[in-house]
Structure 1
Amino acid sequence: MKKIALILLVFMASAACKTNPFTGKKMLNFYGNSQIFPTAFAQYDQFLNQNKVVETGKDAQMITNVGQRIASAAERWLSANGYPGYLKDYKWEYNLVQDETVNAWCMPGGKIVFYTGILPITQTETGVAVVMGHEVAHALADHGAQRMSAGTLQQLGAVAGNVAIKDERTRNTFNQAYGLGSTVGVMLPFSRSHETEADRIGLQIMAIAGYNPDEAANLWRRMKAKSGGQAPPEFMSTHPSNDTRINNLTAWAPMARQEAAKFGVTSFK
């Protein structure tokens, strides 16, 4: 049993060789679109059925319009960089949901939700584009499938340890240490790296779509003000700190402009 678990662990890790087109790096991902997307689409539909979707009005229309522009910009970039069929399985959808939560999210395959609670932070169409670019980037980089892959490896590691350790007291100690260590030392940094990656990819895409990348840092300044500076230490969080994001986005904005210029985009909203 121990050997089987270890062999499976090594095999799954080595099989995770899909390349992120935006970074050129190998991704930890051994789930294909055909395995992930149907479930994600069904869960998305269920969520919409159980929540109040804002179907009409200028805000709902803005969410859809911005989403379409961002997705179109992503497709332009992918086609220009040798990935013309990358989005063939994606089914983009953008919905505004009545909820005071300051959040937005994206499911695998391009299913996006904005809560009305984030609109006072986004303030403008360009602010929406900052958030939309980030959420679209999560979908493009297969972050959902990567999280599932990492979670599977984490579980396999726990199984291997429990099989290998026969003494119950030692096994209990291992489980406590492994749970904390693998979460704080691996899973949380993994999640933060995804958020940082989505910030950078999203900034690039929003610029190609014609939105001013300088506004990304301003949005996070507003987010920081909204939170009142209350946040867990970065190493205990799934997301980078507001200050880290502000500094990163400020530094990356000129590069996003340069990338947009390759597509003839030199003026921005």
Structure 2
Amino acid sequence: MKTLFHSFPAVLKRGLVVLGVLAAGACAYNETLGRNQLLFVSQGQMAQLASSAWTDLKKQEPTTSDPKYLNRVNRVAPKIIRAAGENPAEWEVEVFKSDQINAFALPGGKIGIYTGILDLMDNDSQIAAVLGHEVAHVKFNHSGERYSQTAAAQTALSAGGALVGDSQVGTTALQALGLGAQYGVLLPFSRKHELEADKFGLRYMARAGYDMDEAVRFWQKMSAQKNGAPPEFMSTHPSDATRIAQLKREIQLIRSGS
């Protein structure tokens, strides 16, 4: 019986082989995560890449000096960072004045959180849930892994383009590889990163003494804010139902000592 790989056009197979060779050369096993990570760049290299972006962002986006927000974040952030085994003095956390319901992390210990999402948070434990999630992204170099996945997919696409020229078969093959790179490789890993950040963020907030159940309550509240979302297989984030179900499982495991 033919496998799916054998039924692909030859150029597509070559592109996939290129991608496989790249991946094999840059995979490292992460014992904490329990899986291999594809990493062409180190955390230090990613921090250098992120540094200028962070500087530009702070120039373009207004920050707030309102103690209503700063006191809450400054009270929680150092505890979460220490719980992750990091030094708060080496991290920078900014509160951006915006109605965006969002937070993000950049390599090199940079965290941005918006007043819009803080307005939704009922207590410090909910802040800890989001900050723990962002610290985990940085801790496990998810940005570096994402960068490496994108580079590998682009290299495979370039290899395919060089081989096929302008033929219709080649165009179809490239479209198929592009679709595979978008929905079959990159986005699922992004969802994996989000769920890993949730998992370890819970552990950080538990070590810091916060109520893990508030993470579930917060994401339930976030879910209620949405007017609709793309299907999970086409999203960089897990569905709210998937995320909440995993949080509940992880809380049980942590409390049982697993």
TM range (shorter): 0.7 to 0.9
Instruction: Provide the rounded CA distance (Å) in 2 between the counterparts of 1:130 and 1:208.
Output: 12
The CA deviation string for residues 137-175 of structure 1, in whole angstroms up to 9 with x for no partner, is: 100110000010000010011012112224521222122
Asked if the contact 2:18/2:159 (under 8 Å) is kept, the reply is: no
Secondary structure (helix, strand or coil) at the match of 1:53 reads coil
Partner of 1:83: none
Give unmatched runs, 5+ long, in structure 1.
Answer: 76-86, 263-269
Residue type of the alignment partner of 2:189: F
Per the TM alignment, residue 64 of structure 1 is displaced from its structure 2 partner at its CA by 2.4
Instruction: Provide the rounded CA distance (Å) in 2 between the counterparts of 1:95 and 1:174.
Output: 45
Instruction: Provide the rounded CA distance (Å) in 1 between the counterparts of 2:255 and 2:195.
Output: 18
Partner of 2:48: 38
Per the TM alignment, residue 60 of structure 1 is displaced from its structure 2 partner at its CA by 1.2
The question of 1:13 aligning with 2:23 is answered yes
Partner of 1:24: 34
Partner of 1:108: 107
Structure with the greater relative contact order (CA < 8 A, sep ≥ 6): 1 or 2? 2
Runs of 4+ off more than 6 Å:
5-8
Instruction: Provide the rounded CA distance (Å) in 2 between the counterparts of 1:204 and 1:132.
Output: 12
Give unmatched runs, 5+ long, in structure 2.
Answer: 1-10
Instruction: Provide the rounded CA distance (Å) in 1 between the counterparts of 2:60 and 2:31.
Output: 35
TM-score by length of 2: 0.87
Partner of 1:249: 247
Partner of 1:266: none
Per the TM alignment, residue 178 of structure 1 is displaced from its structure 2 partner at its CA by 1.7
Instruction: Provide the rounded CA distance (Å) in 1 between the counterparts of 2:31 and 2:60.
Output: 35
Asked if the contact 1:102/1:115 (under 8 Å) is kept, the reply is: yes
Partner of 1:189: 188
- RMSD of aligned Cα (Å): 2.4
Seen in structure 2, the aligned counterparts of structure 1 residues 65 and 22 have a Cα distance that, compared at 3 Å, is farther
**Number of aligned positions between the proteins:** 245
The CA deviation string for residues 47-94 of structure 1, in whole angstroms up to 9 with x for no partner, is: 01111111341311221231111110010xxxxxxxxxxx58x93111
